[in-house]
Structure 1
Amino acid sequence: MSMAWKVVEIEEVCNEIVDCLNRTAPKVDYVTPFKMIRTSNVRHGRIDLDNVFYVDEPTYKKWTRRLVPKKGDIILTREAPLGEVGLLKTNELVFLGQRTVLYRSNEMVCDGRFLYYSLISPFSQASIKAFGSGSTVEHMKVPDSKKIKLKLPPLPTQRKIAAILSAYDDLIENNLRRIKLLEEKAKLTYEEWFVRMKFPGYESTPINEETGLPEGWERIELINICSFIGRGISPKYVENDGISVINQKCIRNNRIDTELCRFTCNSKKISPDKLVKPFDILVNSTGTGTLGRVAQMISPKNKITVDSHVTIVRAKEKISNIFLGRLLELNQPLIEKMGKGSTNQIELSKIDLGNLQITLPSKHLQEKFEKDFKPNFLIIEDLLAQNQLLKEARDILLPRLMTGMIDVDALDLSAFGLEEREEMMVAAEPEARYSTKIPKMN
């Protein structure tokens, strides 16, 4: 680390450090512009503003009377879990939920993006964890949130480091936006064809008088169109070996986060049915708040299974698995209500899930939907793979940059293609493939 770097406490470089109100805001059961950031919304360096609780305007004003969050602010979780960090990238009307704290840097001494990367660096994360206390749930006290230690270089160096690391994260964000567009297109088309019944050729398709459905459609139980519905294994976990295991925490927002997978060293051979196959649909089957979540595995890269809290739903060969994935995603609210048991032991049995009544369109329409959208899901797979490479490259660079191991003072940032990258991000079409340009360090 250069002599120009110094170790400081975070309160020395912030204009604002604001803790949340120490109580839960009363939420509403309809969408409003006012979003609550809970600890569960801050994961892997990102703030998820899609899966949020909403409040009314008077509650929002009351909960933001200390400070109104804005773009560029940093959110840290003090508990459940401790040390997750996210950067606000929009000016949406958000406020702090319990066990979170907001940092707003003093840009005269500390670049806001550099502060964000500092907080996710190993040095500052170690400082955060050192403040953790509690025998059951690790948490950090509010006064300690002002004492987190950072390694701080001169401001021009901060800006260069932030620009380099942001190049990776901006590309990741762009890929995530493209993924969301592709997913929304499939969802909207599904709803148009199979919910509003405005499918191609609907005007000339006769209605069956007995069923009230278009000719060739039928109402059927889920079990009758599946080759397998079953839960996974009860694994013995190990740290870094064995087969990856998807648990209920991995399934969120109709996506599977394989970074949260653990590993199994089961002595018994895992049944082939319980190894996740391309386009299998996974359903959380236990737990309050997580039960009923649905996500589809596009194409597992390695051997992967699910634990006993997750159910695999696998379509028969004659059924479009792309169609079935969208159908179960759309029925997620209904599936959530199918669980039985006490509050802390709610379960969704494979029998009840198999008895779910669905409306099955004609084979021709299923095939057309799959033909139109399977290429898009393969693009999504490519974008997710790109993001994994970008994240791995960033994570290798981050500790070296944040400790001064790599000297950036003499770097010309135009060599990183930042202007070209911005133009590419603006011009990119949602369905277009491109090769992600990754900045290289010598």
Structure 2
Amino acid sequence: MNSLWPKRLLEDLVDPQRPITYGVVKPGDEQPPEGVRLIRGGDVLNGRINRELRTIAPDVSDQYRRTLLRGGELVMSLVGNPGAVAVVPPDLAGSNLARQVGLIALQPFAEARYVMYSLMAPDGKNALTARTKGSVQQVINLADLRRVPISLPPLSTQRRIASILGAYDDLIEVNRRRIAVLEEMARRLFEEWFVHFRFPGCGAGLTDGELPSGWSLVPLEQMLVLQRGFDLPSAARGAGAHPVIAASGVHGTHSEFRVRGPGVVTGRSGTLGTVNLVHQDFWPLNTTLYVREFRRASPAYALHLLRHLKLGAHGGGAAVPTLNRNHVHALKVPCAPPELIAQFEQHAMTTLVTAYNLERQNSRLAESRDLLLPRLISGDRTVTTAERELEPVA
């Protein structure tokens, strides 16, 4: 898409005292608690920086003072997630970068969030993709990154565009935090009632290994039945809205489904230990096990029960980890009275449905933002019109 604004090379937007470069080459194995936080390639994704960062020794960081962050710079993953870019928030000032991350410290006439969105727009992505190197692991070369063209409107317009697109991302982030809180509420309720046995009317404390009155220890198969998923080659998938579930989670969509939602799915081969609640009708792939029959367990209860069992630790296979459903079925689990499970299901499923609805809202917000992004960056959509359209969304 052609831009109405003049184009400048990315290197021309950068502070000449802080050229585009990469960070620490050999961070070492030491991770001191009071060390310097280190941003690696995998820590940059979807316009955000992971906050659970490893650390490096201060003397190692001092050797790479060129990439010590002040806050407000752009950082780009050069390896792993090549092209993923984010603005450094103020609270990460003093952190450093790994070799797999590039520093882009802009001059005052270039708004960092605007340049970030420019690099995330189709033209920016295409320019970066054309410059990735390597047949197996894609890598962005710094010399090529410096030559990426950026459409540059006046600074006031840059800020207005960044504000519009940022409003969508802010709403998405608020929803993400709400989703995390809701999911944590359901998890803690399960642990309180069914792990620590602190449920309504539980009475006096129990000794170690003792079950509450009316409870029993039963094989998992008495609670639910797991079944292997179904083959579905990528070439056989049709356009549709039914999620296709792989061992690691959602893996596209299909025009048909094999299981009615809500359902529970976990990895059978490859990725083990991930357990997902699927609200829609869905197609579980043959790398998964899905709950074919909810016997004493119900969907929200089954989700947390399987997560609590840490199924990844029960896998076999040297080359490709595999979960045998017969072994899992034999695991002994505490079985609560049906009325307590039903009470939990009512509370937890209400919470999880609210989280699911927020996820759907986020998908719509992201879709709207992604449609608007290239049109704003190119000047095809006026900023005033976009600001007016944003008002009902915000």
Shared fold by TM > 0.5? yes
- Please name the residue that 2:333 is paired with: 358
Q: Residue 36 of structure 2 contacts residue 61 of structure 2 at CA under 8 Å; is this kept in 1?
A: no
Q: Note the C-alpha offset of 1:63.
A: 8.8
Matches of 1:393 and 1:122, distance apart in 2: 15
Q: Residue 105 of structure 1 contacts residue 115 of structure 1 at CA under 8 Å; is this kept in 2?
A: no
CA deviations over 1:249-281 (Å, ceiling 9, x no partner) = 4x3xxxxxx4xx33569xxxx8x7xx3433322
1:400 and 2:381 aligned: no
Matches of 2:385 and 2:194, distance apart in 1: 55
1:375 and 2:350 aligned: yes
Q: Note the C-alpha offset of 1:194.
A: 2.4
CA deviations over 1:138-159 (Å, ceiling 9, x no partner) = 2222332332221111101101
- Paired residues in the alignment total 388
- Please name the residue that 2:290 is paired with: 312
Query: For the structure 1 residues 366 and 355, does the alpha-carbon distance in structure 2 shift closer, same or farther, using more than 3 Å as the test?
Result: same
- Please name the residue that 1:340 is paired with: 316
Matches of 1:219 and 1:373, distance apart in 2: 23
Matches of 1:263 and 1:235, distance apart in 2: 12
- Please name the residue that 2:151 is paired with: 151
Matches of 1:238 and 1:81, distance apart in 2: 28
Structure 2 gap segments, 5+ residues each: none
Q: Residue 232 of structure 1 contacts residue 312 of structure 1 at CA under 8 Å; is this kept in 2?
A: no
Q: Residue 132 of structure 2 contacts residue 138 of structure 2 at CA under 8 Å; is this kept in 1?
A: yes
Query: For the structure 1 residues 286 and 364, does the alpha-carbon distance in structure 2 shift closer, same or farther, using more than 3 Å as the test?
Result: same
Matches of 2:181 and 2:198, distance apart in 1: 21
Q: Note the C-alpha offset of 1:196.
A: 2.4
TM-score by length of 2: 0.84
Partner letter of residue 159 of structure 1?
Answer: R
Matches of 2:95 and 2:219, distance apart in 1: 42
Higher deviation after alignment, 347-356 or 180-189: 347-356
Question: Residue 353 of structure 2 aligns to a residue in which SS?
Answer: helix
- Please name the residue that 2:106 is paired with: 105
CA deviations over 1:197-233 (Å, ceiling 9, x no partner) = 222222258x699x72111222223222113332332
Matches of 1:294 and 1:313, distance apart in 2: 11
Matches of 2:21 and 2:120, distance apart in 1: 19
1:282 and 2:274 aligned: no
Query: For the structure 1 residues 305 and 177, does the alpha-carbon distance in structure 2 shift closer, same or farther, using more than 3 Å as the test?
Result: same
Q: Note the C-alpha offset of 1:321.
A: 1.9
Query: For the structure 1 residues 406 and 102, does the alpha-carbon distance in structure 2 shift closer, same or farther, using more than 3 Å as the test?
Result: same
Q: Note the C-alpha offset of 1:369.
A: 1.4
Q: Residue 239 of structure 1 contacts residue 262 of structure 1 at CA under 8 Å; is this kept in 2?
A: no
2:274 to 293, 303, 319: 293
CA deviations over 1:105-140 (Å, ceiling 9, x no partner) = 33x111111111111011111110111122222222
Q: Note the C-alpha offset of 1:340.
A: 1.8
Matches of 2:102 and 2:252, distance apart in 1: 29
Structure 1 gap segments, 5+ residues each: 252-257, 418-436
Matches of 1:292 and 1:416, distance apart in 2: 40
1:174 and 2:174 aligned: yes
Q: Note the C-alpha offset of 1:163.
A: 0.9
Matches of 1:168 and 1:139, distance apart in 2: 29
In angstroms, what is the RMSD of aligned CA positions? 3.4
